[in-house]
Amino acid sequence: MQGREQWATRYGFMLAAVGSGVGLGNIWRFPYITGELGGGAFLLVYLICVLIIGLPTMIAEFSIGKRGQLDAVGSFQKTAKSKPWVIGGWLGVITSFLIVSFYAVITGWVLYYMFSYLTGAVQQVEPGGIGEFFEGFIGHDFLPVVWQIIVMAIIVGILYFGVKKGIELSNKIFMPLLAVILIVLAGYSLSLDGAAEGLAFLFIPDWSALGDPNLYLAAIGQAFFTLSLGMGIMVTYGGYLSSQTGKRLPGTAASIVLLDTLFAIVVGVIIFISIFTIGGIEPDQGPTLIFAVLPEVFNQMAGTGTFFAILFFFLVFIAGLSSAISLAEVSVSFAIRQFNMSRKKAALIVGALITLVGVPSALSQGGPLGEVLIFGETILDFVDLLTDSYFLPIGGLIVVLFVGWGWKRSEAFETADFKNQWLGNLWLILLRFVAPIMIIIILLANYLGIGV
């Protein structure tokens, strides 16, 4: 069996982890949930959830991988004294596999939009017709599958070259590129007429919105989704840490969480300023915000709309691609160990399987499988609901209980590299009590149909 791959540098590991978090969760999911749930009020609760649940859970996931030095399943098996804990590893592999199957579909939509702007197809759509343009594409008999396959081919190509030359190298290119594009778009958006209204919506809370229980449930769920928690990604990435790259883990995790959160906020600034610049459009447009609403805004921007749109969709594409790579790597890493495969073979086989599983989702949004419903949901929406509402929180619950209660205090502190005793104790308190209670609440709410 081939030796375990490792990160070349701590910086490369950080960028890969940030790349995993910075994805559709930040650009697609965060803005529309924020728009639906009160803007600044949601942002405030979300930031608290990231701090008291997201960061502690991320450190715990890294610690499991760092201690196990294997894939998600293997690291649980190696570090768990009792076998039931390994369910967390298996759930991470299954969850990430299912998420990337529809994630690649949506990233394909993004790539199609970027291509359509480059060819001028979107600009030719009559005002008010973008929604029909979007529905026509996702409801096509085969086009969504074509773009899904293109995205999956890029993902497999990067994973094919391994941790250092594939994942790490690509993120060393992607993340600085994203930062530059983000700065350009943010600087431009702040010059628009709707800057004051957009900033006020995002940063000044409507305190009445805090009375909505959906706001808290969505904030906890978004903290898990955007930080790639409960998916096995951070356990897998932790398994590539060496004694050198794994030093100062709490500080590294805090930096990753900070960068991911800043990215989401700046994207929110760009999107909400754009919306308020063009009158007659409300921010609470739901999941179709970036596909059916923002293009209408871009098309109404005299002169600069096309340039702004191309940059924006390129930003979304690179962000979605970096997250999809991380999601797929969980299954690739597992396949390499479980079936003693070479990385190249594992990347090709796992990539083909993910693509096949994702095809029904690609054809379920008005296409040939549009009438197929599972518990009243289309195939894509059902897979999204199943993973987001149940698998992610259950996986996260297993992680916090395992590290918080299954490890000795000294083992947890040593693996996570906590030098400050006070911070280490606070981390354990959050893992043992605060995070489990909040995760159980969201699971019960989702089961009872209370959530958004």
pLDDT digits (tens, 9 = 90+) for 34-49: 998 989 999 999 999 9
Among 160-169, 273-282, 406-415, which stretch is predicted with the lowest mean pLDDT?
273-282
Radius of gyration of the CA atoms of the chain, in A:
21
| Section 113-117 average pLDDT | 96
**Would you say residue 123 has pLDDT above 50?**
yes
Closest-CA residue to 28 (of 136, 113, 132): 113
Q: Are 206 and 41 in contact (CB under 8 A)?
A: yes
**Residue 317: what pLDDT?**
93
Share of the chain above pLDDT 70, in %: 97
For residues 123 and 82, the model is more confident at 123
* Chain centre distance of CA 36: 19
C-alpha separations of 429 from 54, 422, 432, 433 in Å: 14, 11, 5, 6
Other C-beta atoms within 10 Å of 143: how many? 16
**Residue 82: what pLDDT?**
78
| Section 98-108 average pLDDT | 96
Strands (E), 321-431: 373-374, 377-378
On the 0-12 / 13-18 / 19+ scale of CB atoms within 10 A, 164 is middle
User: How far apart (Å, rounded) are the C-alpha atoms in residues 80 and 4?
Assistant: 20
What is the biggest distance separating any 2 CA atoms in the chain, rounded to whole angstroms?
A: 64
**Would you say residue 452 has pLDDT above 50?**
no
**Residue 166: what pLDDT?**
92
The helix-helix angle for 10-21 and 249-277 (nearest 10°) equals 40
Among 23-32, 155-164, 283-292, which stretch is predicted with the lowest mean pLDDT?
283-292
**Would you say residue 224 has pLDDT above 60?**
yes
| Section 120-147 average pLDDT | 94
| Section 63-89 average pLDDT | 93
**Would you say residue 1 has pLDDT above 60?**
no
- HSE value, Cβ hemisphere, 13 Å, CA-based, for 106: 24
pLDDT digits (tens, 9 = 90+) for 309-347: 999 999 989 999 999 999 999 999 999 999 999 999 999
Residues whose CB falls within 8 Å of the CB of residue 254, separated by 6 or more in sequence, listed in order: 55
Q: Are 317 and 111 in contact (CB under 8 A)?
A: yes
User: How far apart (Å, rounded) are the C-alpha atoms in residues 98 and 89?
Assistant: 14
Residues 252-270 as b/e (b if ≥16 CB within 10 A, e otherwise) read: bbeebbebbbebbbbbbbb
**Would you say residue 446 has pLDDT above 90?**
no
Q: Which residue has the tokens 């008010």?
A: 128
**Would you say residue 451 has pLDDT above 60?**
no
pLDDT digits (tens, 9 = 90+) for 342-378: 999 999 999 999 999 999 999 999 999 999 999 999 9
Among 130-134, 286-290, 444-448, which stretch is predicted with the lowest mean pLDDT?
286-290
pLDDT band of 66, cuts 50, 70, 90:
very high
User: How far apart (Å, rounded) are the C-alpha atoms in residues 257 and 86?
Assistant: 26
- Could you tell me the two tokens for 375? 């518990």
Q: Are 215 and 45 in contact (CB under 8 A)?
A: yes
Q: Are 226 and 57 in contact (CB under 8 A)?
A: no
C-alpha separations of 58 from 215, 229, 250 in Å: 22, 7, 9
**Would you say residue 248 has pLDDT above 60?**
yes
Between the ranges 89-103, 123-137, 311-325, where is the mean pLDDT highest? 89-103
**Would you say residue 2 has pLDDT above 80?**
no
